[in-house]
Amino acid sequence: MSDFIFALLLLLLILISAFSSGISNGIFSLNQYQIRRKAQLGNKDAKIVYPFKALGYQLLVTLLIINITANATIAIMLDSKTGGLFAVLFSTGFILIFGEILPMIYMRKYVVYVTARVAPVLHKVITFMTPITRPIAHILDKWVGNETQVFYSKEELINMLNGQKLATESGVAVDEARMLRTVLEFDEKLVRDVMTPRRMASIVTKDDEVGPLLMDELHKSGYSRFPVIAEEKHFSFVGTLYLRDLVGETGTKKVKDLMSPHVRYMHEEESLDHALRAFLKTHHHLFVVVNNFEEFVGVLSIEDVLEEIIGREIIDEFDNHEDLRAVAKSLAEKERKKRLTAQDSVKNSPKVIK
């Protein structure tokens, strides 16, 4: 055999080894549901590749036989030229780099594209080897199962979803990835993280008269439910007023005539998962939030919890502020500075000697 034919045959065997190894690793690293979704969305390459993925172990056995045969032939050919220990070491390194590592790295990114291009040849090879590969694949299906079950930690799933932003061919929409991330992080958040702070909460008194002024004020608040207190500036809650109960009311009435007498309380350190279950169980969509000293610190609505699930603020035409917690914090900081300034002015004022 001439050196030219030898080199040409060796190159062909390396390509066969590289393609079989790369495709087998690449195809089995793909998620079956992801590749199917891409096919359903009209990706032409995914439509071609999905049937190969569906073959499961039959495809794997076919590619392994091709890969092992090509590698064994490469080793024999190199041994015939060099011989001895050098041939073993050289062929091992040669096959490892050009037949395994490089194809594996390349195919992780381009496996769908490459497999779609060699699909006609691959289909004929699989059909030809079916009498051998199908029985072996059937045995593997019984022993191992169609696909090995993989478990991921929460951190791994969040990192995978974060990676969707960088994947231009991702089958997961940006909004879907954002919502999935917020759901995975949902149980880590507490009521105090999402509640409407006391400073920004809209509260009514039971003896307030229901008229145009109150209606206008309630509408401008942007809320549809309001905690009701017994007396002004005394946070003793006696009920809940629903904006819907005021629609169509005529004549002079007070809040206590239209409010619901039910009040529900929630501790600020409870998890949002606990709050959501409480909302569903009680069918009450507004909780008064208290701290360890049973002091009123804010209110929690079911919308506050839903916002954390969908990862987006629910804002209607009446909302004045997008982030009420940020506004409350800003107001508190302004008041603190004002108080410190007043204290400094008193401290620095000249003393009158009598």
Place of tokens 């089995």: 28
pLDDT at residue number 316: 46
Tell me the HSE value of 177 on the side-chain side, using a 13 A CA sphere: 16
In angstroms, how far is the first alpha carbon of the chain from the final one?
122
Q: Are 104 and 25 contacting, i.e. CB atoms less than 8 angstroms apart?
A: yes
Determine the longest span between alpha carbons in the chain, in angstroms: 122
pLDDT at residue number 164: 63
Q: What is the 3-state secondary structure (H, E, C) of 57-101?
A: HHHHHHHHHHHHHHHHHHHHHHHHHCCHHHHHHHHHHHHHHHHHH
Residues of the chain scoring pLDDT < 50: 148, 316-324, 327-328, 331, 351-354
**pLDDT digits over 4-26, tens only?**
888 888 888 888 888 888 888 88
Scored b (16 or more CB within 10 A) or e, 96-114 reads eebbbeebbeebeeebbeb
Alpha helices in 82-199 (DSSP H): 84-94, 102-117, 119-143, 154-163, 174-184, 191-194
pLDDT at residue number 340: 64
pLDDT at residue number 320: 47
Tell which residue, 198, 172, 178, has the closest CA to residue 290.
Answer: 198
Let me know how many helices (H) and strands (E) the chain has, helices first. 15, 9
Tokens of 223: 């809320």
The whole-model pTM stands at 0.49
pLDDT at residue number 321: 47
DSSP assignment letter at 224: S
DSSP assignment letter at 56: T
pLDDT at residue number 43: 83
Q: Are 79 and 87 contacting, i.e. CB atoms less than 8 angstroms apart?
A: yes
Q: Is the dihedral of CA 301, 303, 307, 309 positive or negative?
A: positive
